[in-house]
Amino acid sequence: MSNRNRIAAALAGFTGMMWLGLTAAVAANQRRLVFNPTVEREVPSPRSSGHRTRPVVLRAADGTRLSGWLMTPQVPAPHPAVIYFGGRSEEVSWVVRDAGKLFPGMSVLAVNYRGYGNSHGVPAEIHMVEDGCMLFDWMAARVAVDARRIAVVGRSLGSGVAVQVAKERPVHSVVLITPYDSILALAKRKFRVMPIDYMLRHRFESIKYAPSLKAPTYVLRAADDDIVPHSHTDQLVSRLAKLCADEIVPGSDHLDIPYLDDTQARIARFFTAQFAQPVQAVREDGAAVAATAAADASVPAPAAAALAAVAEAPAPVPAATLETTVETDTAAANDVPVLAASGSDIVPPKPE
């Protein structure tokens, strides 16, 4: 073999080893690439000026403790509700601070993902979606929530959670902030020479589920987004079954868009208009869908139960999945503590 051939073979071997090493590193560290848990609260003592604010801890189906906040309007009544799912690096206490502007007259649930804020556990796509469905069921079972009118909001990474929850549960309406077609597609764009299809476990393939979403959907894009290019949002929007609007918030970027007054006003207007519409048609459709789901063995039992909740009454949530604690503060001092069962025991309120 000539020296030239030896050098070429050595370079090919070195390049191959480098490629294998880099591929192995990406595969081993993909959780860190997809998730960036933020533990420190963005707002140290969050409370909403337009709601009664209650810190809550809910137990997931596997017993993992999830920490967040429940905000309820000042006037007791069955209100429409919103569940918020945050971004890759987002701790959700800021939602409490801004809930009065974002969600006026609505009950709001903002809970940190596993590993974020005070929530226990490790983040993963499958757990985020399962936990999101559990949060929907918990809200639907609350007396002060109109189970026919529960919406979801997903920002960035959380848009993938919101889409899948809306697929599994009878969500009333959806807001997606800087959404993508899939994390898989974004990863393939960034790591072009790697076999991402075979490596990535947390895919968040919203584009697969978009055609099955029956809820009115509102998309908000950042004017300048270097994290989720508009071409990836275009792919998702083209597949959404019931797109109400697709708008760009002027002067926004991927990081600041949810905090802007313009964004918050747009979201408040959308939900106010959606929740003001008659829900009888939704109930009738829900009854038909619930009957179909009950007869279809391929529909998961929790999803069928939630569909039945829209047609008739809020579906009960298994007691073992819930544990709620209330932190004593000025805003919540006059509230009746929220109690739920953990196993067969009642868990009393205690400091967070």
Tokens of 9: 């073979």
Tokens standing for residue 197: 């299809």
How many Cα atoms sit within 13 Å of 181 on the Cβ side? 17
Dist CA 61 CA 32 (whole Å):
24
**Predicted TM-score of the model (pTM):** 0.77
- Which ranges of the chain does DSSP label H, i.e. alpha helix? 3-28, 30-34, 93-102, 125-140, 157-168, 183-190, 196-199, 206-209, 230-237, 261-276, 280-295, 301-311
End-to-end CA distance of the chain: 71
The secondary structure of 94-132 as a DSSP string is: HHHHHHHHHSTTSEEEEEPPTTSTT--S---HHHHHHHH
| Separation CA 168–CA 161 (nearest Å) | 11
pLDDT value at position 252?
98
Count Cα neighbours of 25 within 13 Å in the Cβ-side half-sphere. 7
3-class secondary-structure state, position 249: strand
Q: What is the pLDDT of residues 160-214, one digit of tens each?
A: 999 999 999 999 999 999 999 999 888 876 665 556 665 788 889 999 999 999 9
Question: What local confidence, expressed as pLDDT, does residue 206 receive?
Answer: 96
Residues of the chain with pLDDT under 70: 1-31, 189-198, 280-352
Per-residue pLDDT at 106: 98
The pLDDT value given to residue 9: 54
Phi/psi of residue 73, each to 5°?
-60, 155
